[in-house]
Amino acid sequence: MRPGDPCEVLGAVLGPSETAVAEALSAPRGPVRLVRRCGDLAELLAVAEAGGGHVALVSVDRPAQDRLDLEVVARLHADGLVVLALLDGVGQDEEDAARALGVDGVVRAPFDPEGLSSVVLAAQAAGPGAAIDEGRGEPGAGNRFWADPPSTGAPPSDAPAVPPPPRDGTLVAVWGPPGSPGRTTIAVNLAAELARPPAVRARGAQQVAVPEVLLIDADTHAPSVAQHLALLDESSGLVLAARAATQGRLTAHTLASLAPVVLPRLRVLTGIGRAARWGEVPASTLPAVWQAARQLADVVVVDCAASLEQDEALVYDTRAPQRNAATLAALAAADVVVVVAGCDPVAVQRLVVALDDLRETGVAERARRVVVLNRARGTVAGGRPATVLRDALERFAGTTPDVVVPEDGTSVDAALLAGRVLAEEVPASAARRAVLELVGALGLTPAPVDDVAPGPSPGTPGQGEPQLGSAGRRGWLARLRGAPTGERAVARAGAVVD
């Protein structure tokens, strides 16, 4: 757009406002010009892709098959258009829903022609993705159909209490190269330990708030968090959250209804269930999912798939779905990336390459990195596996592992068979001690309750009393037989669990 050229508007307006918009933006030499009246959103997207227009003015109240959603807004932004939502109603809920879609501004009908032109010009100057200040809280700001009415100086007697500020939780992505053993096991047990009460060493010591934790299964290749915790997987919490985000209706409260409580202070958002459903989680919805997750929980743990590749045939088609979009989006949004790898020579070689790939792609450049080597054993690493592995990784990758998890198949198998975490089934195991060490390395919360007795891991399943609520739960075999399995079995994605 050259200086002096009019701002071109693409309209997809329905109802009585269509004529009003056409009249308001049809001045022969005005600064704003309506260049296309689109019959539906498909036509609007086609014109935008062809390079027409600078601003899209879209009615929110549309038929279900032609509804404005997050994907449409993302495509218009990708084509360089600013998106303004036109509301015919006066409810605050409608405006909040429109803003949740990522629109750059909201216009309410009825409006005056000059006011509409000024809003369009302000939006065009700000550019796509920059929401315009409506003037809320400052009477007279913006224009008369965006600004709040002047305040009388006294709050209404029935004014609701000020809600607490939303959380801004920390996002921890658990990732590793292909073939890394125990990514999901580490993610599940890390989330469980983060949700446990901190240790109180001295009587009368100050109590520390225990964080709320949300575990998300974002593995689009081999999701298995539900199986680890003996949860029913008829419904995918992640898919339902993505659908709500597409409609602009995903909030922390909505996400809470999709993520059942499985342990005190621990919620789980189950994965896609079948790998073929990866296309039901569009990349455009994932930022909204992470945002709602941060608002719901103090710590968000995301179990990711291994691959960082993008389909070469689709790399130049930014609108085509990518199977690894969930992993890439989680790593890009993460505050901490826990890199899990094995301890045999093949796994260490893959880890060295994976760390290089992580640096070269820059997908997690803002995140702190914590390296975990899993299943360390002398049969593949020598007599002192921890020392040998640290030396090898420092030599070939220029880094050292933060945590080395010893081989403890007996304990991990016992927990997996029971559908429980290590802290419940085998609290004194060597694997659990390593997970506690990982919690300390993250530094997100005080140390969990120190109920780990010294010594080797128990040799029989179920040894030690479960420390977390597990009444009425059975393992995965009972779930496969269709038997009732207590609270976890009846908790389905979509049911509100308080």
CB neighbour burial string for 280-305, b if at least 16 within 10 angstroms, e if fewer: bbbbbbbbbbbbbbbbbbbbbbbbbb
Per the CB < 8 A criterion, the answer to whether 412 and 435 are in contact is no
Percent of the chain beyond pLDDT 70?
A: 76
pLDDT at 226 over 50: yes
- What is the per-residue pLDDT for 387? 86
The pTM for the full model equals 0.75
Question: CATH classification of 170-198+209-463+473-481 is 3.30.70.141, yes or no?
Answer: no
Residue 456 pLDDT greater than 70, yes or no: no
The whole-number average pLDDT for the span 170-176 is 97
The pLDDT tens digits of the residues spanning 61-93 come to 888 889 899 999 999 999 999 999 999 866 788
Q: What is the mean pLDDT of residues 218-235?
A: 90
Question: Are residues 342 and 181 in contact, defined by beta-carbon separation less than 8 angstroms?
Answer: yes
Please name the residues in contact with 418: beta carbons below 8 A apart, sequence gap of 6 or more. Answer: 230, 424, 425, 461, 462, 474, 475
pLDDT for res 156: 42
Is the pLDDT at 197 greater than 60, yes or no? yes
Tokens at 282, concatenated: 């569009």
Mean pLDDT estimate for the chain: 81
- Asked if the model's pLDDT at residue 435 lies above 60, the reply is yes
Per-residue model confidence (pLDDT) at position 131: 59
pLDDT of 311: 59
Residue 452 has pLDDT above 80, yes or no: no
What is the pairing mode between strands 261-263 and 266-269?
Answer: antiparallel
Average pLDDT over residues 188-196: 96
**pLDDT for position 174:** 98
In 3D space, the residue among 353, 343, 327 whose CA is nearest the CA of residue 401 turns out to be 343
Do you find a cis peptide bond into 3, omega within 30 degrees of 0? no
Burial of 465 (0-12, 13-18, 19+ CB in 10 A): exposed
The reported pLDDT for the residue numbered 97 is 84
What percentage of the chain carries pLDDT values higher than 90?
52
pLDDT at position 392, please? 87
- 7-126 and 170-198+209-463+473-481, same CATH topology: yes
Q: Where are the domains of the chain?
A: 7-126, 170-198+209-463+473-481
Of residues 329, 214, 216, 218, the one with CA closest to residue 277: 218
7-126: CATH architecture: 3-Layer(aba) Sandwich (3.40)
Question: pLDDT tens digits for 106-164?
Answer: 998 888 878 898 899 999 898 887 654 443 333 333 333 333 434 444 444 444 444 45
